[in-house]
Amino acid sequence: MPRIAIVVGEASGDMLAAGLIQSIRARIPDAEFVGITGPQMRAAGCTSWGDCEQLSLMGLVEIVRHVPRLLKLLRELRTRLETERPELYIGIDAPDFNLRLAPHARRLGIPTVQYVCPSVWAWRQGRVKGIRRACDRVLCLLPFEQAFLEANDVPATFVGHPLADEIAAPVDQAAARAGLGLDAGRVVALLPGSRMGEVQHLWPVFLDAATWLLERDSALTFVVAAASARVARVLADQLGARGLGDVIDIREGVTREVVAAADVVLLASGTATLETMLLQRPMVVAYKVNPVTAWLARRLVRTSYAALPNLLANAALVPEYLQEAAVGPDLGAAVLHWLDSEHERAALLLRFAELGVELRRGANERAAAAVLEVFKTQQAKADIEQEVMR
């Protein structure tokens, strides 16, 4: 019975881990899972060593005050690996943490897999050497990542993206609106992010954009997708302070339904841009971080785009407003453009559909197969070593 340790860093990693656990269990029913978990992992039967929210951090400068706590957690997990000796270690996303823990696992003779390629193709490309030292295999969600890693002597497998498998066709807009109790008319969805740091930077700007739009079309309906109850409280407090509590509706835990109901989505850069693309909704993407973090990022980043649809297409399919460019009137104008441009919307959605096909590969099953290949290879090596020692 293999015992597999998994460490995730946020909600998207929790989703990936849960799908992976289910696919491995379909092949090895008695497989056991432990690790740093989210609710979906726990529901899938993974024994928890701690909640993934403690790793859900953003930025470069912002993370500094959390370093002592993260180092303590790193020491604790190293001790866990030493005492419990799982047969396999899987880090899912959270590369700055997982790629520090994985080398320790390898020194203990535990094979390691990193699920979700760190963005070394975009910035801090020197990190690829650390990945080579830390990982027996990297599982890639995006098609161009495998070629980059293999060119740098890192074993890698493109597995596709589980979201593309899950969202095989656009969700019916009318049904989504009916489910949310929304009236007919033009609907704008607001997704200011899942991390508190994102919300604090972006939500005031999104409210500026909503105010700008309402001044031009008071019949617009705005719906906000809150990632958690904590985020919902912060959003509601600022809505009340702006006098918009009766104008903008907050919904918790129904992000996909909110996006499906919308005509246009204004959202934070991240995995949500991919989900919005797969649901075939036009979008405007924004992102803001601490100014010092932004200054550092501009000197490290080597890619032209931030939003996943643009990265996949290697073209500016959707507008991006980053840092000081993310201001309410400009975001509002970009949203209004999509609302009013029927032909451009149609062309965009056709391209979104093509990109979705590229990502739809049966990711959970392919990831499970790659993980078990690493496990079996390690087991075969161990058997040979034992035979030699006899």
> Is a pLDDT exceeding 60 seen at residue 59?
no
Whole-number mean pLDDT of the chain? 89
- How confident is the model at residue 122, as a pLDDT? 53
Tokens of 324: 């000081």
Structural domains of the chain, with CATH = 3-160+361-389 (3.40.50.2000), 173-359 (3.40.50.2000)
Q: Which of 2-16, 175-189, 236-250, 370-384 has the lowest mean pLDDT?
A: 370-384
- Mean pLDDT on 231-238: 91
**Chain mean position to CA 375:** 26
Percentage, residues of the chain above pLDDT 70: 89
Tokens of 73: 């957690």
Tokens of 257: 């339904």
| Nearest residue to 127 (alpha-carbon basis) of 118, 116, 137 | 118
Identify the three-state secondary structure at position 262.
coil
Which residue is associated with the tokens 């100014």? 291
208 residue type, one letter: D
Query: What CA–CA distance (Å, rounded) separates 7 from 17?
Result: 9
Q: Which of 117-126, 185-194, 274-283 has the lowest mean pLDDT?
A: 117-126
- How confident is the model at residue 292, as a pLDDT? 53
Q: Is the dihedral of CA 199, 204, 207, 208 positive or negative?
A: negative
Per-residue pLDDT band for 63 (boundaries 50, 70, 90) equals low
> Is a pLDDT exceeding 80 seen at residue 296?
no
What 3 state SS string does 149-209 have? HHHCCCCEEECCCHHHHHCCCCCCHHHHHHHHCCCCCCEEEEECCCCHHHHHHHHHHHHHH
Most confident of 51-55, 242-246, 305-309, 347-351: 347-351
Q: Please state, in angstroms and as integers, the Cα–Cα distance from residue 30 to each residue in 5, 27, 33, 89, following that order.
A: 14, 9, 10, 17
Give the Cβ contact number of residue 299 at 10 Å.
7
Query: What CA–CA distance (Å, rounded) separates 120 from 302?
Result: 9
| Nearest residue to 247 (alpha-carbon basis) of 238, 255, 239 | 239
Per-residue pLDDT band for 390 (boundaries 50, 70, 90) equals low
Structural element, H or E, at residue 8: strand 3-8
> 95 versus 278: which is more confidently predicted?
278
Query: What CA–CA distance (Å, rounded) separates 336 from 282?
Result: 11
DSSP state of 127: G
- How confident is the model at residue 334, as a pLDDT? 98
Our separate counts of H helices and E strands in the chain read: 17, 13
Q: Is the dihedral of CA 284, 289, 291, 295 positive or negative?
A: negative
CB 207 within 8 A of CB 201: no
- Mean pLDDT on 327-351: 97
Per-residue pLDDT band for 358 (boundaries 50, 70, 90) equals very high
> 384 versus 34: which is more confidently predicted?
34
What 3 state SS string does 283-329 have? EEEEECCCHHHHHHHHHHECCCCCCHHHHHHCCCCCCEEEHHHCCHH
- Spatial neighbors of 235 by CB under 8 A, at least 6 apart, are 192, 199, 203, 224, 226, 250
Identify the three-state secondary structure at position 86.
coil
